[in-house]
Amino acid sequence: MQVPFTLSNESLSVFANGKMHTIRNSHRNYDLVVEHLKGGDHDEHLLEELCSVEAAARNYTSGHDNVEVKWGQVFYKGSPVHNTLTEKLLGLMDLLLDVTPWVRFLENLMENPSYRSRESLYDFLEHFNAPITPDGCFIAFKRVREDFKDIHSGKFDNSPGAVVTMQRSQVDDDNQRTCSAGLHVCADEYLKGYATGSGYRTVAVKVNPRDVVSVPYDYNFSKMRTCAYEVLNEVGASDIEDLLEDLLFEDIYGDWDLS
């Protein structure tokens, strides 16, 4: 028998065992499915198994009613979402990896009330491969004084374990302004040219994407203003390198106390 299917430059969809299954051209089984479809006799069970990314997607999004993956697209509350984040999510699904942290990240991100903040965060993520934590946040960095107070005002305590907050309305959301009001965190690249002398420390911080307010255009989108973050650990240059070299969620969770 032959099953209905459709093929495009980026994905293919087959209707097997009463269900539609879609995979992207980066999926590890894409070529195998294409070759099987070229034959005259299609095995529905085999096709369903080869296209298991959709079944995996349903497992990953179970319990997350707002996020759905179907037809090779990511949907939030029924509307398709196309951005750097969803491309990453789909790419991980193609490799049959657990994308639960990224689903949680998308949910957190969509709670951010500012469209401009959500869009600018994509630029940060595109230029800096920020590790995503199991609860859908991301890890960034901050340089502080020797006593863990912030460099600019010396008022905010950034000791490990501290949760630093300020009113969102007091954070400048204009991404045309480089230095302005807000809690500042950055990518590792930004650290190379900021407060590099003696007398400073560097801490890793966890940021919820809903709390991001602005990512300035300058410095290659490598820093941002936010209204809240949690300080994780003090880190050295070698610690940062090790953290960014291994982005698997389990390894990050094992190396850092994110609880």
Residue owning tokens 């269900």: 19
Most confident of 134-138, 163-167, 182-186: 163-167
Q: Given a cut of 60, is residue 259 above it in pLDDT?
A: no
Are 81 and 95 found together in one domain? Answer: yes
Q: Considering only residues 5 and 99, tell me which one the structure prediction assigns the higher pLDDT.
A: 5
Full domain range(s) for residue 234: 115-255
Q: How far apart are CA 166 and CA 138, in angstroms?
A: 19
Beta strands in the chain (DSSP E): 5-7, 11-16, 19-24, 67-70, 73-76, 79-81, 138-145, 163-165, 183-186, 200-207, 212-214, 223-226, 228-234
Sheet with 5-7, side-by-side order of all strands: 5-7, 11-16, 19-24
Q: What is the pLDDT of residue 248?
A: 38
Residue owning tokens 């590890």: 28
Are 45 and 85 found together in one domain? Answer: yes
Q: Considering only residues 226 and 245, tell me which one the structure prediction assigns the higher pLDDT.
A: 226
Distances (CA, A) of 113 to 33, 170, 200, 229: 42, 15, 34, 17
Domain-ending residue, one of 110, 127, 144? 110
Are 13 and 82 found together in one domain? Answer: yes
Are 245 and 123 found together in one domain? Answer: yes
Domain-ending residue, one of 56, 89, 110? 110
Are 53 and 85 found together in one domain? Answer: yes
Q: What is the pLDDT of residue 258?
A: 38
Q: What is the pLDDT of residue 20?
A: 83
Kindly state the tokens that stand for 12. 């293919």
Are 92 and 151 found together in one domain? Answer: no
Q: Given a cut of 90, is residue 26 above it in pLDDT?
A: no
Sheet with 79-81, side-by-side order of all strands: 67-70, 73-76, 79-81
Are 47 and 161 found together in one domain? Answer: no
Q: Count the domains in the chain.
A: 2
Q: Could you tell me the pLDDT band of residue 61, with boundaries at 50, 70 and 90?
A: low
Are 184 and 122 found together in one domain? Answer: yes
Are 125 and 52 found together in one domain? Answer: no
Q: Is there a contact between 227 and 211 (Cβ–Cβ < 8 Å)?
A: yes
Average pLDDT over residues 9-38: 82
Domain-ending residue, one of 77, 110, 143? 110
Are 121 and 34 found together in one domain? Answer: no
Q: Could you tell me the pLDDT band of residue 96, with boundaries at 50, 70 and 90?
A: low
Q: What are phi and psi of 145, to 5 degrees?
A: -75, 175
Q: Which tens digits make up the pLDDT trace of 181-235?
A: 889 998 888 887 665 667 889 999 999 999 999 888 776 778 899 999 999 999 8
Are 130 and 251 found together in one domain? Answer: yes
Are 207 and 95 found together in one domain? Answer: no
Q: Given a cut of 90, is residue 158 above it in pLDDT?
A: yes
